[in-house]
């Protein structure tokens, strides 16, 4: 399963967060964005439980991340 994670980040920490996201194996792409969210990450997981664990254990704890919104992709 694929998902796009929209991320709100503290001011001045966007590039650091994007770099940290790229270090996570299940994060296939990550970019700084303009608009209501500061970054987006494309992730892949085997199932919804694994996706939840990825977000709660590896993405949300990154310093500077304030909020995430997960959007499941439909093929």
- Dist. CA 49–CA 17, nearest whole Å: 24
Going residue by residue through the chain, which has 75 residues, state the pLDDT in tens, using 9 for 90 and above: 999 999 999 999 999 999 999 999 999 999 999 999 999 999 999 999 999 999 999 999 999 999 999 999 998
Domains of the chain plus CATH, in order, are: 2-72 (3.30.70.920)
The model's pTM is 0.93
What residues contact residue 15 under an 8 Å CB cut-off, 6+ apart? 32
- Dist. CA 7–CA 70, nearest whole Å: 9
CB 55 within 8 A of CB 68: yes
């Amino acid at each position: 399963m694929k998902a796009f994670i929209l991320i709100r980040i503290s001011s001045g920490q966007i590039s650091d967060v994007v770099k940290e996201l790229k270090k996570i194996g299940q994060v296939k792409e990550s970019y700084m964005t303009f608009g209501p969210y500061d970054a987006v990450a494309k992730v892949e997981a085997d199932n919804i439980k694994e996706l939840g664990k990825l977000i709660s254990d590896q993405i949300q704890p990154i310093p500077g991340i304030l909020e995430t919104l997960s959007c499941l992709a439909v093929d």
